[in-house]
Amino acid sequence: MKYFNFHIHKATNNPEVLELINQYPQEFDGTIPFYSIGIHPWYIVEERIESDLAIIESKLQDPKCLAVGECGLDKRSEIGMELQQLVFEKQLLLAQKYNKPVVIHCVAAFQEVLETKKRLQIAVPMIIHGFSKKIQVVKPLIDHGFYISFGKYLLRNPELETVFNSIPEDRFFLETDTVAETIEEVYDLAAKYKGQTISQVQQTISNNFQAVFKLDLDSK
């Protein structure tokens, strides 16, 4: 497999790309090859939390389920932060129980996500997807073991080049999320920013994939 797309909502069926498809409990599609599943902080339905968590727990036992998420905290959501925090913590504990990485959605709540990881002593990898902030925000995350995934904002905001290049080689992923551009285009830009070949970036991502998901990307 040449490319890994860390976070995408709709499969492209490109045979050269392993895609981690984002799934929601109530819209689960069993035909998707590899997926993450979680309760997004925008879409918390209080009466459905326990049934959603039960679905997530059942899917975490499926080898095709590679991660929990996307889940997290979003201060711009209409959902109250107390409820978001409760649902986030329940998902983190499931990830810990089943030893699965976590895809994190975080808006204006990085300190809270960091504090939650420390307080619950979460040891599984936690990856912030769609990162768009400054070095001052990312440094504490890196210092506390987070991985960072770049995509839409890397393509849209040239000022992110400095932030992207500050991330250690063993701590980043690339994604497309919902943008029209392909993962190949994201890899191209990442290689340009790093002054590397596409093959070098592919090898870095492959190594990181193996470290986080305990699978060999080249065998997929």
Asked if residue 185 belongs to a known ligand binding site, the reply is no
Which tokens hold the place of 187?
């890899």
Half-sphere exposure of 96 (CA within 13 A, CB side): 11
Asked if residue 177 belongs to a known ligand binding site, the reply is yes
Query: In 75-191, which ranges are E strands?
Result: 102-107, 126-128, 147-150, 172-174
For 5, the enclosing helix (H) or strand (E) is strand 3-8
Strand pairing class (17-23; 126-128)? unpaired
Asked if residue 40 belongs to a known ligand binding site, the reply is no
Asked if residue 7 belongs to a known ligand binding site, the reply is no
Which tokens hold the place of 116?
């939650």
Cite the annotated binding site by residue number: 70, 105, 129, 177
Binding residues for a divalent metal cation: 70, 105, 129, 177
